Amino acid sequence: MNIKDLIKFSIIPLIVFVFIAAILWSTEKYLAYQYDKRFLSSIFKKRFIYLRNLPPNQHLTFNSSDIPQVDSFKIKIKDYTCTTDSNGFIVSGKMHQHPDLKFVFLGGSIPQSLYTDEDKRMPVAVTRETERLTGLKINVWNAAAGGTNSYHTLNVLNNMALQLKPDYAFFYGNINDIATLIHYGSFNNPNLKWGIFFNTRKFDDENRPVDNFLPYIQNVIKNELYQKPIQDDFADVRDTVISIDSAQLSMAVKQVFKTMIAVCKANNIKPVLITQVNIYDRMGFEWMKKNMPLLTISEDGYQKLVQLFANYNDLLRQVADEEDVSFIDLKSNEFSFSDFNEPSHFNGDGYVKVNTMIAHKFSAIVKY
């Protein structure tokens, strides 16, 4: 068989087969998209509460190369795994059949603790150390969700965590509250990620920008085959001036935490507020410009932002005092640069330190 025959009888059929397979795959993707769009539009009437936790009943893997400041903090690149339950909460080890207490941890990515070993994640490590200190049997749920603010936490508390009937709910101060409020001035905003509601039409516009078959398939193929661009969560307000209004921020933060506390008290749950720790004051404006280029503020604005972080913790202290609830006061000067993956997220050593602090402080202030 000569070369021409070889091409005729092997390569050309292979090309035809690949082409037909690509058409079938593309058609399936497009039809599934159209079905999902019609289904969501009819069932949810374009708008619904956005619960931001992980997908339920999954075994997931995350790689530390996803951390934005991976290079400047010399982070070790490795995979981290987690398993979620039917609520999308990270499974936190053993569960006692007859526990003395039940804990739930809520907040953003720091208590969620994806990028650390399972036994060092804040909810499970704090619980195990508390068991060691008190001799109690304690069950815990990791209901925190990365990339969320405290209004999302309120949604998770109301719609999912209450059914667990925990004795204590731990709320770790969420740095994303400040990010949301300085960009929008309110938790109730139109941003697809940072708003309170999920709008299916807006989702279609931002993630499925076309209804025509070929442009849509081109978009799918690009997402499948090429590296996606850096996600700018605040792209819709990127050209506007960031407003740092301390009075407005104070009111919004106090309102959401007082609401979460009221929900806890109405359901016989004891809330525990925890200050957030970060080292932005030690990183400096030049570091921010290099490693966080999307945060387009002046040096003076950066200093105001650092002050907002301190004010935020003061607000948590005020709320805890006014509402007479348990409070764990963590201080940034108790931690060093080597405890972090980036300015507000702990690495493995940092989690060991902060988890031990929380467990000891909790055991000292709480009667059980």
DSSP-assigned states of every residue in 6-68: HIIIIIHHHHHHHHHHHHHHHHHHHHHHHHHHHHHHHHHTTEEE---SPPSS-EEEEEGGGST
Concatenating the DSSP letter of every residue in 80-93 gives EEEEB-TTSPBP-S
What's the structural domain count of the chain?
A: 1
Evaluate if pTM is beyond 0.75.
yes
**pLDDT score, position 8:** 57
Q: Is residue 6 part of a domain?
A: no
Length of the chain, please?
368
**Measured distance CA(152)–CA(166) in Å, rounded:** 19
List, run by run, the mean pLDDT of 10-residue segments along the chain (368 residues): 58 72 72 59 59 86 70 72 90 89 95 92 96 95 92 93 96 90 78 65 52 52 48 56 73 95 97 94 82 72 85 95 96 90 88 96 83
Residue 358, exposed/middle/buried by CB under 10 A (0-12, 13-18, 19+)? buried
Q: Is residue 29 part of a domain?
A: no
Q: Which CATH number is 352's domain given? A: 3.40.50.1110
**pLDDT score, position 211:** 47
**pLDDT score, position 73:** 62
> Which of 78, 108, 79, 103 lies closest to 92, judged by CA?
103
> Which of 146, 171, 143 lies closest to 68, judged by CA?
146
Structural domain containing residue 266: 47-194+233-365
**pLDDT score, position 229:** 45
**pLDDT score, position 49:** 74
**pLDDT score, position 17:** 72
**Measured distance CA(36)–CA(52) in Å, rounded:** 19
Q: Is residue 358 part of a domain?
A: yes
Q: Is residue 224 part of a domain?
A: no
Q: Is residue 5 part of a domain?
A: no
Q: Is residue 361 part of a domain?
A: yes
Assess contact for 165 and 139: CB atoms under 8 A: no
Q: Is residue 23 part of a domain?
A: no
**Measured distance CA(102)–CA(368) in Å, rounded:** 12
**What does the block give as tokens for 56?**
């339920």
Q: Is residue 129 part of a domain?
A: yes
